[in-house]
Amino acid sequence: MILGFDPGRDKCGLALMSREGQLLYHQVVQSQDAIATIDKLSGQFAIDTIAMGNQTTAKKWKQLLSSNLPASVEIVLVDERYSSLEARDRYWQMYPPQGIRRLIPQGMRQPPRPIDDLVAILLIERYLGVGK
């Protein structure tokens, strides 16, 4: 299992995907809850790799994860440039607009919730070399 992790100061995106590409979990959590959530997921799933974004607070988070997870879990930094823009497009693929919102051009639409979890999905896909 691969855990996608989009670290941030206030909130973090998490996603869990099998190596076959099956998405099992995705959620945005508060930063202070990220380690506990990852620990809980580790208890439910055999996570062997964390694909983590390499920007913002990556160095701090990598250190924190390394000290809180078994040494067998590999932490891989993944280029996350433009991932927020790509995640916004992915949001509309996963949750197509309904009603009058369909008439608004996609480039002008803003997702109604944080999309850090979708960034985490993209990080896994980038790690696996899938997608674009």
Report the CATH number that the domain containing residue 97 is assigned in CATH: 3.30.420.140
- Reported as a pLDDT band with limits 50, 70 and 90, residue 13 is very high
Domain of residue 29, residue span: 2-128
> How much is the pLDDT for 131?
55
For 16-70, the pLDDT digits (tens) are 999 888 999 999 999 999 999 999 999 999 999 999 999 878 899 999 999 988 8
> How much is the pLDDT for 34?
95
Domain count, the chain: 1
Residue 116 pLDDT greater than 90, yes or no: yes
**Separation CA 41–CA 1 (nearest Å):** 10
> How much is the pLDDT for 132?
45
Q: Would you list the DSSP string of 8-68?
A: -SSEEEEEEE-TT--EEEEEEEEGGGHHHHHHHHHHHS---EEEEE-STTHHHHHHHHHHH
